[in-house]
Structure 1
Amino acid sequence: MAYAQPDEHFFIETDEPQSSTRARETAKMLARSRQETIACELSRLAGEEYLGDIMKHMRHMEDETLPDANLIDMQREIQWFMRPYLIDFLIEAHAAFALLPETLFLTVNLLDRYCSRRVVYKQHYQLVGCAALLIAAKYGDKKDRVPQIHELNNMCCGLYDAGMFTQMEMHVLNTLEWTIGHPTVDFFTQLMAAEEQDDKEVEHMAAYLCEIALYHRDFVSTKSSIMARSSLALARAILGRPEINDGDWDHTENLTLLTLSQHLNQPSPTLARKYSSSSLSKVSQKLADFMAEQAAMARLQANPQSPPAEPVSRHSDIYSTPQKGHGAAAGFDGYLTPPITPDNAYGNTAKVDSYHQLPPRCPVTPTPQSHSSSYPQHVQQYAAFVNQHGIHQQ
């Protein structure tokens, strides 16, 4: 039996058993789950029906909300070397509040769009980033995860007053004319990955590459759809996945892919630490291993190994000179010099025989004769010797 307690003094006995209460709660949970399933199915059907209109609107918004890097170049105080420090701060704040992935990309987009229209002092650069993070979190994230102003102020080490965050937030919204929505690269990445049926590891690697691109000026004015396609193609190549034929690539897409591949050598340690977790497939370590292999291959191609030298016999005489006769030339192993005939040996056979029996103590080099007809004869003999043995003359 169950009892109800309407006040502090009376207990009223009820006929409703406790098991029926649990059954009613279970039925409510099942009904709520069924409603969510029906809502998801209706959303999917509506998405398939209006997918063309949705993509057309996204392409239009992509062009309307694209920052201009050339206008940011005109800033007097903030420079591009300051950008990595601010992006590191935003990534740490984004991870601390456990915000959605698209919130980070929307934050950087709001930051760059504001810097394309307003002059920003370097002491306010971090404040603009915090205001952009606050706006992006309110726009697309859960309410309980939106950072509070005092939390952002603590992360900035109390550099700004609490009222400055609210003032900068309103100034950013007025500058952008309250146009906050932007099709982020995360949206296009998920859409393309689902269409090509890529696994989670490829998606994590593509997200890692897209966040690496946030640090560099080269990708500030790059469309999200182009960045998503380039990062997915590069992620498949890094992980050894088969190449997917997803249509022709224009010049801008090829240039983006090439430029992105040139910025993978030294990613930010903060970003690499973020993607070193098992929940993100440890893609930062896999990218580091891939880049190390590429560097080793490049060094091997730049400095190819020379073939091993042929061993030289220790007993060979490098100063030996081939003499007349067939037996002397057969065992020759050394520098080649033209065979010569000793002076005054034409008419004396004994001297010739004694000359062949006693090898010279010093290397013999050809000596021109006094008459003009003997030098061409030595040259002809040397040429015939070289041709006979097939020796390449240097």
Structure 2
Amino acid sequence: MAYHKRPTSSYQPCDSYFVESYDDFPAPRIDPKEHAKLVARERQYAIADELSKAASDEFRDDILAHMLDMDAATLPDVESIDIQTEIQWFMRPYLLDFLIEAHTAFQLLPATLFLTVNLLDRYCSKRVVYKRHYQLVGCAALLIAAKYGDKKDRVPTIKELKSMCCSLYDDDMFIQMEWHVLQTLGWTVGHPTVDSFLQIAVLDTPHDPEVEHLALYILEISLFHREFVSKASADLARASLALARCILNRPQPRHTEWASQYDSMTLVGLSQQLHQPSQVLSRKYSSSHYSRVAKTLEQFLARQASITSYTPPSPPSDVPSDSKPYYGEIGLATPQKVQSSNLPNGYPTPPITPENEAFANAGNPNFVKEGPETNTCSPSPSPPPMQYVDSHAYNPEAAYAHQPYEQPQMSFTSSF
């Protein structure tokens, strides 16, 4: 084996520096037939991709219409889940955390998780589920979903599921529950999941993995909340994609695209559930495999909270403090009470009730009053301070002893 100095000019010549030369080793020769097969295979893959794209463009509307029909037919009924006797909504996050951990451990497809939750909710909409069997139904739904759409070498076995449940259920119970779930659902397993609608929504845009990962993160957060259980998958996919683009400051699609037809109320509902995600879900999407979108979302929410809590300083007032406010012709903004400080006792006195002929002949048109005419009656005298000597004894002489009696100018007398 030959050793020589490195001939490259980027290094200074050194007598003690030697490198191994690979020039003497023969390069592996490829058989011409194998090379032709590889080229032909790559060409077939390219042709298949072009045909698939052409077919998808031609039948996209029909495929989308069929998916919408299937989605409406396979949505769970949240009101039926409400009447469960033992299953309560506060138990749902614990089961979903377990299913997410199992889904991540088996490295299943994203669609498998959404299909698992759909099968679980559809079964709970039609059957009474006991609390002790809730985890068993979730495992059976995960097993059915993995068999339906995932790779066969990644489908979990009964032994693995039993181990994850800490041997709480026997092997036969998993098989019986799987059979019972399929019979309850009428063997209708297929359901267009939200990630399939998400793939349709991003077909016409450049590939952006961070936006897709954040949209998936938002969609998995929605699985934990009751208000999104019976929500259409297409609405959730479009709203989550629009929210992810808004968070990452990406441009929104054109109004003519299908992805732009999202429901604003659904988007607002999703945005209100981003503040306290599940710890299991946050840890899952904090990895580099999912572009660390959980950290990105956490930083975005922190910035929004700081902006909301910031109060700008008020500008200095240009009006001098000793100046009086000018009301102008408009007057005061609020109605003011009449000041009664000039009255004897702080309150007005009602007019005196007439008596004698004037009161008796008030409705007689032929009655003519005698004496000088006056426009107003004189007010009644102000009463003296109350004497609380004996509150139960009534003494009219003591009550009116100090009241001065004034003869009115009219021809009739007045009294209380």
Check whether TM > 0.5.
Answer: yes
- Please state which structure has a larger fraction of its residues in helix: 1
In structure 2, C-alpha distance between the alignment counterparts of 1:105 and 1:169, rounded to whole Å: 17
1:278 aligns with 2:288: yes
The equivalent residue for 1:328 is none
Q: What is the DSSP-based 3-state SS (H/G/I as helix, E as strand, rest coil) of the residue aligned with 1:45? A: helix
In structure 2, C-alpha distance between the alignment counterparts of 1:198 and 1:66, rounded to whole Å: 30
1:313-362 Cα shifts (integer Å, max 9, x gaps): xxxxxxxxxxxxxxxxxxxxx999xxxxxxxxxxxxxxxxxxxxxxxxxx
The equivalent residue for 2:113 is 104
Pairs within 5 Å for 1:193-212: 193-197=202-206, 199-212=208-221
Change over 3 Å in CA distance of 1:98–1:307 after alignment to 2:
same
Please report how far the alpha carbon of residue 40 of structure 1 lies from its aligned counterpart in structure 2 after TM superposition: 3.1
Q: What is the DSSP-based 3-state SS (H/G/I as helix, E as strand, rest coil) of the residue aligned with 1:106? A: helix
Q: What is the DSSP-based 3-state SS (H/G/I as helix, E as strand, rest coil) of the residue aligned with 1:159? A: coil
Please report how far the alpha carbon of residue 21 of structure 1 lies from its aligned counterpart in structure 2 after TM superposition: 9.0
1:294 aligns with 2:283: no
Which stretches in structure 2 are left out of the alignment for 5+ residues?
1-27, 324-416
Please report how far the alpha carbon of residue 137 of structure 1 lies from its aligned counterpart in structure 2 after TM superposition: 0.7
In structure 2, C-alpha distance between the alignment counterparts of 1:243 and 1:39, rounded to whole Å: 31
In structure 2, C-alpha distance between the alignment counterparts of 1:239 and 1:95, rounded to whole Å: 25
Pairs within 5 Å for 1:346-385: none
In structure 2, C-alpha distance between the alignment counterparts of 1:37 and 1:130, rounded to whole Å: 40
1:146-186 Cα shifts (integer Å, max 9, x gaps): 11110111111111101111111111111110111111110
Of the structure 1 ranges 260-269 and 42-51, higher mean CA displacement relative to structure 2 is found in 42-51
Please report how far the alpha carbon of residue 34 of structure 1 lies from its aligned counterpart in structure 2 after TM superposition: 3.6
1:59 aligns with 2:68: yes
Pairs within 5 Å for 1:142-221: 142-197=151-206, 199-221=208-230
In structure 2, C-alpha distance between the alignment counterparts of 1:37 and 1:209, rounded to whole Å: 34
The equivalent residue for 2:242 is 233
Please report how far the alpha carbon of residue 254 of structure 1 lies from its aligned counterpart in structure 2 after TM superposition: 1.7
In structure 2, C-alpha distance between the alignment counterparts of 1:293 and 1:150, rounded to whole Å: 47
Which stretches in structure 1 are left out of the alignment for 5+ residues?
1-18, 310-333, 337-394
The equivalent residue for 1:11 is none
Q: TM-score, normalised by structure 1?
A: 0.69
The equivalent residue for 1:370 is none
Pairs within 5 Å for 1:134-145: 134-145=143-154
The equivalent residue for 2:388 is none
In structure 1, C-alpha distance between the alignment counterparts of 2:44 and 2:205, rounded to whole Å: 30
Change over 3 Å in CA distance of 1:249–1:282 after alignment to 2:
closer
Which protein shows a greater Rg? 2
Q: What is the DSSP-based 3-state SS (H/G/I as helix, E as strand, rest coil) of the residue aligned with 2:126? A: coil
1:192-227 Cα shifts (integer Å, max 9, x gaps): 112233511111111110011011111001111100
Q: TM-score, normalised by structure 2?
A: 0.66
Does structure 1 retain, via aligned residues, the 8 Å contact 2:116–2:142? Answer: yes
Please report how far the alpha carbon of residue 308 of structure 1 lies from its aligned counterpart in structure 2 after TM superposition: 8.8
In structure 2, C-alpha distance between the alignment counterparts of 1:335 and 1:138, rounded to whole Å: 83
Partner of residue 276 from structure 2, selected from 266, 269, 278: 266
Please report how far the alpha carbon of residue 139 of structure 1 lies from its aligned counterpart in structure 2 after TM superposition: 0.6
In structure 1, C-alpha distance between the alignment counterparts of 2:302 and 2:147, rounded to whole Å: 41
- Report the count of equivalent residues: 294
The equivalent residue for 1:84 is 93
In structure 1, C-alpha distance between the alignment counterparts of 2:204 and 2:322, rounded to whole Å: 71
In structure 2, C-alpha distance between the alignment counterparts of 1:153 and 1:130, rounded to whole Å: 9
Does structure 1 retain, via aligned residues, the 8 Å contact 2:201–2:259? Answer: no
Please report how far the alpha carbon of residue 252 of structure 1 lies from its aligned counterpart in structure 2 after TM superposition: 8.4
Q: Percent identity?
A: 60
The equivalent residue for 1:127 is 136
1:278 partner amino acid: S
